[in-house]
Amino acid sequence: MVIQITDLTKAFGKTTVIQKTSLSIEKGEIFGMLGPSGAGKTTLVKMIAGIEKPSSGEMVIFDQKMPSAEPIQKIGYMAQTDGLYHDLTGEENLSFFSAMYHLKGKKRQERISHVLSLVNLTEHKRKLVRNYSGGMMRRLSLAVALLHEPDLIVLDEPTVGIDPVLRQSIWEELYKLKEMGMTILVTTHVMDEAEKCDRLAMMREGSIIAVGSPAELKKETETETIEQAFLHYGGGVQHAH
């Protein structure tokens, strides 16, 4: 098991945004967190990525009880808003973040070339990021999250605001990473993306209301689409933009 969460809660002041939540995620899964805006997806994945501290409950990642420094080094996190430097080139951004991960010399060069090719940005590496398209910026953010060879990658709405063709290319990257043995946790409120996950947690108002493969969730609710299944469980709906 890569992630094991038991009775986790999160409150900001008096408002509880994650109700007692338990969840297990296995190695090599593409696990999706689906839910309407404000359901708590970002808060939950931020706790897993070690960015937000739980209010109560237990979290074990790579067999280590959190908080702990060791599992954090095995996690790559891609936030909703990118942390890229727009006045630097793609390659310079990767160099900057490599230094943060303490990657040096030949290893640094190798990792930068590898992640650039993984996200198909090699031929654009010398362009300033401010001249990148939205999709290229998302792909560069993904490359940054992959630099230090994480075993778990946490992606918060990696394809938001991206056209269907580029969305498809990001999903192809994710499948490649899964093949390489990586565990992938991804948030989305786009139904057709949810279909692409091995398993899904449907979230609503700070709670997980159902967990299963897309096929299981549809079978259980006797529905034909994830959107209908979500409605069946009492979730809200948002359409792809």
Ligand X SMILES: Nc1ncnc2c1ncn2[C@@H]1O[C@H](COP(=O)(O)OP(=O)(O)OP(=O)(O)O)[C@@H](O)[C@H]1O
Q: Which residues bind ligand X (CB under 6 A)?
A: 12, 17, 35, 37-43, 189
Where in 79-215 does DSSP place strands (E)?
A: 152-156, 183-188, 199-204, 207-212
Q: Which two structure tokens, joined as six digits, stand for 139?
A: 């792909």
Give the residue with the Cβ less far from ligand X, 17 or 200: 17
Q: Which residues pair with 60 in a beta bridge?
A: 4, 65
Whole-number minimum distance, CB 79 to ligand X, in Å? Answer: 11
Compare residues 44 and 103 and give the one whose CB is closer to ligand X: 44
| Between 37 and 106, CB nearer to ligand X | 37
Shortest Cβ 157–ligand X spacing (Å) = 6
Rounded to a whole number of angstroms, the minimum distance from the CB of residue 202 to ligand X is 11
Q: Quote the strand ranges of 42-197, DSSP E.
A: 56-61, 64-65, 75-78, 152-156, 183-188
d(CA 155, CA 139): 11
* Closer CB to ligand X, 2 or 39, in the complex: 39
65: CB partners within 8 A, 6+ apart: 58, 59
Output the smallest distance, CB 190 to ligand X, in A.
10
Residue 3, SS3 per DSSP: strand
